[in-house]
A and B are shown apart, each in its own frame.
Chain A
Amino acid sequence: EAQVTQNPRYLITVTGKKLTVTCSQNMNHEYMSWYRQDPGLGLRQIYYSMNVEVTDKGDVPEGYKVSRKEKRNFPLILESPSPNQTSLYFCASSFTRLAASTDTQYFGPGTRLTVL
């Protein structure tokens, strides 16, 4: 089954404790991205990756890091989480960035993160 998986689905942590949210897709997609969804703000892109070892900042990259060592995985790293990073996070993938812009991205189920 074609899918994007994220782990964990729910996480409560404390300020400053490094964490990683994993994302994996099994569709051989080149393009992957991370979004956060906040009430009243919709979906905002954090980082994206056009292919292995190619990553770039989205609209709200501050406080986040990513890596793309393998095509299928795109982990989101919070080195020192803060309460303003409490949010619902979605990983997404598509064949290309153009495909994401004109057709469809496949989204993971989301990770709800609470930073105390």
Chain B
Amino acid sequence: DQQVKQNSPSLSVQEGRISILNCDYTNSMFDYFLWYKKYPAEGPTFLISISSIKDKNEDGRFTVFLNKSAKHLSLHIVPSQPGDSAVYFCAASAVGSDDKIIFGKGTRLHILP
């Protein structure tokens, strides 16, 4: 059973526009959520995280929103740039439980010129 779901395998967005990547989770014990970015032939790199006590965390062009009642989070990239083209992984963990991190399948983002 997939506990962290990224239902869009790919997404194309015009350069300069907003990119919105979505992630749903099923386990209500998750209390930390992370986004990783991965370029081809490289390992994932950490992008941004959010604790379940918050509903928003912002870092430059990247903002993550958390809706606990809907068990949904989203990553907003504004404005989108060509270098944002990558695969984005959503991940969740239950700190204080077993700290296990569960990754989603990833969404490939294409930024169009």
What count of chain B residues pass the 8 Å CB interface test? 24
CB of B43 within 8 A of CB of A90, answer: yes
* Contact of A21 with B by CB under 8 A: no
CB of A90 within 8 A of CB of B44, answer: yes
CB of A107 within 8 A of CB of B32, answer: no
Main secondary structure of the interface of A (DSSP, over half): mixed
Partner of A102, one of B32, B103, B106: B32
CB of A43 within 8 A of CB of B46, answer: no
What count of chain A residues pass the 8 Å CB interface test? 24
Chain A, 36-49, contact with B by CB distance < 8 Å: what is the 0/1 string?
Answer: 00001111110000
Chain B residues with CB under 8 Å of chain A are: 4, 6, 32, 34, 36, 41-46, 49, 51, 89, 91, 93, 95, 99-101, 103-106
Chain A residues with CB under 8 Å of chain B are: 4, 35, 40-45, 59, 90, 92, 97-98, 100-110
